[in-house]
Structure 1
């Protein structure tokens, strides 16, 4: 599962000087409820499912045959999860006979009285005839998974001509039981067969292989899918829709991409690295891709980022990128790697409980760093690792354990601790035990537990078996503890005695961390490395020298998950950017130069890595003093002409735009038609700063086909400059934006636009659109962001008492 966090993170990031306080109820009952692995009374063995769909009602008609066996103790009963269903028949199937069984159903659980007491390993098969009614299920979602009804009919009657008709399922965490009765727990595993009857114009996708297709007399077709390897119920999947299937392969196995027709020409540009990823991960882990095939499908209105259903990953529509978007690079590439890595960590070996989600999600998060390193270089991997670390540090997750046995709801586990922090912990562990031992240990974990479940302790035992090291200390502080070190680093030198010290103080109040760290001492370009263990509140690293070092670089590999105050001098940082090679070394130095207004900041403009150049340009863009320096601007203007990386070129144009200088108008006019949406968007923004009338005309011209940065800038330009007669155009434009980045970017310009109107009824229509978007956010997102929406609504409400009353009515 890739978390869908775009809206929440951007909303929070957009408000400067805002403080968000969430009060914790220390006496809440859930804080005393230990979340253990689910007790196994019966084990799933095989699930056979026949389904058809009623598009007009958004119902699914199902017949399921579930084969089970007692886990150990004899039992005469069965409890299945079955949410919001109409149960029509429950029976035992044996010797080609069907025997009705007594059952009780409360809308959530189906309690079945078996015909006898079954002993361990004595299999039995239950038949259930039912109707799934997902829209009647009222379970709540989360920040990561914004809805929980399991089965989704998208535009089922085709009324919305701008959207295709689709069906897709979302099982994690316990949504599969909305569309098929099952034991909906991650520690269950089952093989399955799914037969889907659909209108003949649609294609289907499910787990495993398509083993048969039969055309029916009524214009439908029945597709039969078979998964003959065991996997968890939350990984069961069905997808239906009008898709073009682009086929690839990996070692004789089908690799396919299910995309809407318009994206077929670029499907390989979006997903085409998949076979290479499969090869890379298989070789790195020493465990070949185990499943029968690998398919990826894009679903409209998906409730999360992406989901690693076994052999059939579902992506949200952000994966749909046209050729012009892909000029800026494939923004979905890391997500594709993330979901693929789950086929090992999550699907092959599955977290035994949501408390141990780290053995699924931390690995998938970490895989993004691995892939970036391999495909795009060390700097790209380090940049991703650094950014993920910053996201965790700003997430307020310091009070949460990574392995968490106390939580309010399992959905709460899908957070920056399970993902970002867990991924960084794996990266630290990799650095500590060494590359070969790390991946040998992962191989041990996967091969020992394949097609079974895993937990953090099994991971520890796998590492200890390979390395011969006791790693309880590492697991206790990082897996079974919360928080992270907060350190202050000071330096002292005695040139007369030729002795120096790096004094490292842990300032967090709750506990002291044990931290193996590399310390590099630089004299010019010559580096001497020392291994050092931090284990006290204050530790002192001592060294001797003949010449005072230019730089003492604590955490030379820039691997530590910590917050630090590093009291180096300006000269130290000048040496760091000159000699220390890593991405984070350079970023730290550039941040220091920016804070101290040092001209050395401009060194970042000449860095070999585009990410550093882009970072430097962004820093300059926010500094009015630098933007008034003629030499700096001349350098940036030159970069606009020579820069090869589209996003970095766009940053350079953004810097020039922020000067509001008429002299750069020819540049904006030249690049507003660029093939890169990002470059075009920044050029349009710059043009709006100095020629809003022209920018307004161009924005109305470009908005129809705009995506990404151009879409957000064009919509903003239209709403800032638009008049009353533009209302129909503006409101339709806003309505067509899918929930996410583009719609968020357009929301606050829409507030501004509505505040300029006089027509009360039009303003109400705009309010309805914004409220509708706000209501697509999860409850958690709403709690964090409502004060932002409230400010916009309060401003509009001041215009008229009728509007104030209307807002009170619709905005709740």
Structure 2
């Protein structure tokens, strides 16, 4: 799962049918327990094990229900038992029977809308298989469990525009199983430590296509306008990885060796599908080689989904993505913003799908690896600086909010959904990078290969990762895992260097915050006359550490954490002149130069040398740092603008990277600098970001040209430029151009924030919100509702005031849309009110 984000208890409750004389279960958690953090979230107890799951599914599009038949084979794990408990949420259970050859014997059962407790009628012993038949109706809209910031809904199966009420909008059905939502569309033991093979038969309208796990074995057309597809997956995987998707898709064929690699995109994107997903075969080869473990499954397909509840999901052999991965050529010319997500979900097919976290508390063995794969892919494909840029952003994401207070592996949490956070993802990936650098590449990747082979098609926890790495490397890693996996936080350091001309030694002092001490390897660069000497030291678990190194003269600069591997807060006590030297010495090291640029930017107003060095950084060989330096310029300072203008114009006109051109154009806009030739040329760029920045500048200079210039511009050019949105929105609202309303959804939902940053644009955004809430605009309203609930989940703990603002916005939206719906009888308006109310109900 690509976070973007977050999800009853993992304790297994023994039913009244259990045999107390055979076993005693551990205490189950009480819903009335005052503090959920006191609950020990154990690995789910295995009384019965799934063996094979066979499903026959049909669909009621009007009622948004799944009509299902299931044949599920199970066996006791160790102790004999005469009952089984299956997770089955919000279903109507029509029949439960024991299958015996071609005959069925009805069984007694109890059902409480969450679990199906079945009396098997006899006792089964260890490994003695039995097959149950269950006929049921799944009702996803009746599911009561809630989603989170990472996965914002949890009803398992989603009907998108099922009755075709939204014009020019696709009809789809797709599933989302993580965390425990597969049991919303078929009865199962919905736990990560269960594994089952599967076969699924899907009957649906003939005009669509389907995708599921495994291989499509057959498809046949039926006389009633439907067709039936039969999908079969012989290898075992966890229930949360079950998937099907149905809709109108173009299927673009690709290959890795003899394995089919298919891309399911909406027909409008078929010509650019290979630009979006086309690196997948190379990724499969790269990861297979790196891990010493070939891709383990029989195919790999990737599908997009409208209104998806997260970023993407690694359903085994059939990954599902948010439709935002579908980009037009004018976006792809800048960069493929989906590429890191493609890598992330693919890597899960080793870490998560092949070897699965035994419990949500050990989610790190799934998500931390998938997070780190993003670094590995960027490093392989685009170089270390691109990878380090990504890592720098991931580090900032982890440090934001309450991440530093949480253990990476934790068995105490409010909800399993809370595990999908910046610790399991960001911090886990950062820690793996540290572990790789400590062990060296050969030992690290051979250790990962051993971990995969030792636990393939099974479950694992962090301790098994440690054992595999220790076995390969011969090094004890308890100190590392105890510190980074089973505890929280990161070092907070202050570093100072002093040179003694008499002894010709430089002394580097590393002070730790005594509130929490760590031990770790630490790289220090001493730069003398432009020549760098790397010193490797060990910082002990104490408040003060001091190291001395030879230096023929006072160093140009001393750089702590010189390889930028350690996850830490470092207060590097040195003058800005040293940071200027650090920038020069930091060739090939993105983070070393970023830290220098930050210091130079902080001093640009008072230190001419810092300002000159910052402007010189606009020439950085790495495009990401050219953009970073542009963003750090103080464009309200006439002195800085005068010095930077020439270079900004050069970048806007000639930089080989369109994102740099766009950043430079936006900087010129902010500084009120207009060069007609540059802006006119840029307005015809194939890049949407460059077009948007250029048009903003032209319209700012010539407001009367707005209609003429934007008449034939792609909507995405406008959507990605807040200035253009603010300029065009009043006309759209005045003319009631409802087709443009979805373009305003984000600004409308977040108008309170925009008001704070820019009162004038905030007023326009508020007008857009009021307009959307008082019109029949299904797509725009749905987007507003989704943005409100998603942002609220993210912000409520980080910024309570922001959470209150979003909740107030949602309440206002419900009231406005409700009042409007009373004036015009419309089924779509009723649904819009329901969507807004649903968003508001999540704001707790």
TM-score calculated relative to the size of structure 2: 0.87
1:506-525 equivalences under 5 Å are: 506-507=512-513, 509=515, 511-525=516-530
Report the 3-state secondary structure (helix = DSSP H, G, I; strand = E; otherwise coil) of the residue aligned with 2:559.
strand
- Cross-structure match for 1:679: 690
Contact 1:754–1:796 (CA under 8 A) maintained in structure 2: no
- CA gap 1:529/1:573 in 2 versus in 1, 3 angstroms: same
The partner residue of 2:234 within 210, 214, 228 is 228
Contact 1:297–1:313 (CA under 8 A) maintained in structure 2: yes
- Cross-structure match for 2:701: 690
Report the alpha carbon displacement of residue 802 of structure 1 after superposing the two structures with TM.
Answer: 10
Q: Which moved more, 1:429-438 or 1:788-797?
A: 788-797
Contact 2:741–2:772 (CA under 8 A) maintained in structure 1: no
- Cross-structure match for 2:2: 2
Alpha-carbon separation, structure 1, partners of 2:79 and 2:4: 41
Contact 2:210–2:245 (CA under 8 A) maintained in structure 1: yes
1:370 corresponds to 2:382 = no
Report the alpha carbon displacement of residue 782 of structure 1 after superposing the two structures with TM.
Answer: 6.6
Alpha-carbon separation, structure 1, partners of 2:809 and 2:343: 44
Contact 2:331–2:687 (CA under 8 A) maintained in structure 1: yes
Q: Deviations over 1:624-680 (max 9, x none)?
A: 22675433201111122220101011011011111123x424433332232111111
1:658 corresponds to 2:670 = yes
Contact 2:751–2:762 (CA under 8 A) maintained in structure 1: no
1:126 corresponds to 2:148 = no
- Cross-structure match for 1:209: 215
Alpha-carbon separation, structure 2, partners of 1:640 and 1:736: 27
Alpha-carbon separation, structure 2, partners of 1:391 and 1:302: 23
Q: Which moved more, 1:500-509 or 1:46-55?
A: 500-509
- CA gap 1:797/1:4 in 2 versus in 1, 3 angstroms: closer
- Cross-structure match for 1:161: 167
Report the 3-state secondary structure (helix = DSSP H, G, I; strand = E; otherwise coil) of the residue aligned with 1:270.
helix
Alpha-carbon separation, structure 1, partners of 2:765 and 2:552: 70
TM-score calculated relative to the size of structure 1: 0.91
Contact 1:193–1:226 (CA under 8 A) maintained in structure 2: yes
- Cross-structure match for 2:654: 642
Report the alpha carbon displacement of residue 324 of structure 1 after superposing the two structures with TM.
Answer: 1.4
Alpha-carbon separation, structure 2, partners of 1:793 and 1:399: 27
- Cross-structure match for 1:412: 418
The partner residue of 1:240 within 220, 243, 246 is 246
The partner residue of 2:740 within 730, 733, 737 is 733
- Cross-structure match for 1:16: none
- CA gap 1:485/1:566 in 2 versus in 1, 3 angstroms: same
Report the 3-state secondary structure (helix = DSSP H, G, I; strand = E; otherwise coil) of the residue aligned with 1:187.
coil
Alpha-carbon separation, structure 2, partners of 1:34 and 1:779: 28
Alpha-carbon separation, structure 2, partners of 1:760 and 1:377: 47
Contact 1:298–1:314 (CA under 8 A) maintained in structure 2: yes
Contact 2:214–2:317 (CA under 8 A) maintained in structure 1: yes
Contact 2:630–2:663 (CA under 8 A) maintained in structure 1: yes
- CA gap 1:760/1:589 in 2 versus in 1, 3 angstroms: closer
1:96-135 equivalences under 5 Å are: 96-135=102-141
Report the 3-state secondary structure (helix = DSSP H, G, I; strand = E; otherwise coil) of the residue aligned with 1:148.
coil
1:493-504 equivalences under 5 Å are: 493-504=499-510
Q: Deviations over 1:224-244 (max 9, x none)?
A: 111100000000001111111
- CA gap 1:88/1:227 in 2 versus in 1, 3 angstroms: same
Report the 3-state secondary structure (helix = DSSP H, G, I; strand = E; otherwise coil) of the residue aligned with 1:347.
coil
Report the alpha carbon displacement of residue 568 of structure 1 after superposing the two structures with TM.
Answer: 2.3
Alpha-carbon separation, structure 1, partners of 2:566 and 2:809: 45
Alpha-carbon separation, structure 2, partners of 1:88 and 1:486: 60
- Cross-structure match for 1:278: 284
- Cross-structure match for 1:10: none
1:200-599 equivalences under 5 Å are: 200-507=206-513, 509=515, 511-535=516-540, 536-581=542-587, 582-597=589-604, 598=610, 599=612
Alpha-carbon separation, structure 2, partners of 1:395 and 1:408: 17
Alpha-carbon separation, structure 1, partners of 2:817 and 2:97: 58
The partner residue of 2:42 within 17, 31, 36 is 36
Alpha-carbon separation, structure 1, partners of 2:423 and 2:388: 19
- Cross-structure match for 1:613: 626
Contact 1:715–1:746 (CA under 8 A) maintained in structure 2: no
- CA gap 1:494/1:383 in 2 versus in 1, 3 angstroms: same
- Cross-structure match for 2:727: 717
Alpha-carbon separation, structure 1, partners of 2:511 and 2:765: 53
Alpha-carbon separation, structure 2, partners of 1:744 and 1:310: 36
Alpha-carbon separation, structure 2, partners of 1:384 and 1:259: 27
Alpha-carbon separation, structure 2, partners of 1:224 and 1:344: 25
- CA gap 1:145/1:724 in 2 versus in 1, 3 angstroms: closer
Report the alpha carbon displacement of residue 484 of structure 1 after superposing the two structures with TM.
Answer: 0.8
- Cross-structure match for 2:29: none
Contact 2:195–2:239 (CA under 8 A) maintained in structure 1: yes
Report the alpha carbon displacement of residue 144 of structure 1 after superposing the two structures with TM.
Answer: 0.3
What are the ranges of 5 or more consecutive residues in structure 2 without an aligned counterpart?
7-32, 605-609, 755-759, 822-832
- CA gap 1:178/1:804 in 2 versus in 1, 3 angstroms: closer
- Cross-structure match for 2:825: none
Report the alpha carbon displacement of residue 202 of structure 1 after superposing the two structures with TM.
Answer: 1.1
Alpha-carbon separation, structure 2, partners of 1:406 and 1:541: 40
What are the ranges of 5 or more consecutive residues in structure 1 without an aligned counterpart?
7-26
Contact 1:155–1:164 (CA under 8 A) maintained in structure 2: yes
1:691-706 equivalences under 5 Å are: 691-695=702-706, 697-699=708-710, 701-702=712-713, 704=715, 706=717
Contact 1:92–1:126 (CA under 8 A) maintained in structure 2: yes
Report the alpha carbon displacement of residue 354 of structure 1 after superposing the two structures with TM.
Answer: 0.2
Report the alpha carbon displacement of residue 761 of structure 1 after superposing the two structures with TM.
Answer: 8.4
Report the 3-state secondary structure (helix = DSSP H, G, I; strand = E; otherwise coil) of the residue aligned with 1:500.
strand
Report the 3-state secondary structure (helix = DSSP H, G, I; strand = E; otherwise coil) of the residue aligned with 2:427.
helix
Contact 2:749–2:809 (CA under 8 A) maintained in structure 1: no
- Cross-structure match for 1:74: 80
- CA gap 1:623/1:723 in 2 versus in 1, 3 angstroms: same
Report the 3-state secondary structure (helix = DSSP H, G, I; strand = E; otherwise coil) of the residue aligned with 2:54.
strand
Contact 1:658–1:686 (CA under 8 A) maintained in structure 2: no
Report the alpha carbon displacement of residue 151 of structure 1 after superposing the two structures with TM.
Answer: 0.3
Contact 2:747–2:765 (CA under 8 A) maintained in structure 1: no
Report the 3-state secondary structure (helix = DSSP H, G, I; strand = E; otherwise coil) of the residue aligned with 1:91.
strand
Report the alpha carbon displacement of residue 705 of structure 1 after superposing the two structures with TM.
Answer: 5.6
- CA gap 1:180/1:442 in 2 versus in 1, 3 angstroms: same
Report the alpha carbon displacement of residue 378 of structure 1 after superposing the two structures with TM.
Answer: 1.1
Contact 1:206–1:237 (CA under 8 A) maintained in structure 2: yes
Report the alpha carbon displacement of residue 520 of structure 1 after superposing the two structures with TM.
Answer: 1.9
Alpha-carbon separation, structure 2, partners of 1:754 and 1:107: 43
Alpha-carbon separation, structure 2, partners of 1:124 and 1:796: 50
- CA gap 1:553/1:761 in 2 versus in 1, 3 angstroms: closer
Kindly report the root-mean-square deviation, in angstroms, between the aligned alpha carbons of the 2 structures. 3.0
Report the 3-state secondary structure (helix = DSSP H, G, I; strand = E; otherwise coil) of the residue aligned with 1:398.
helix
- CA gap 1:706/1:642 in 2 versus in 1, 3 angstroms: closer
1:632 corresponds to 2:632 = no
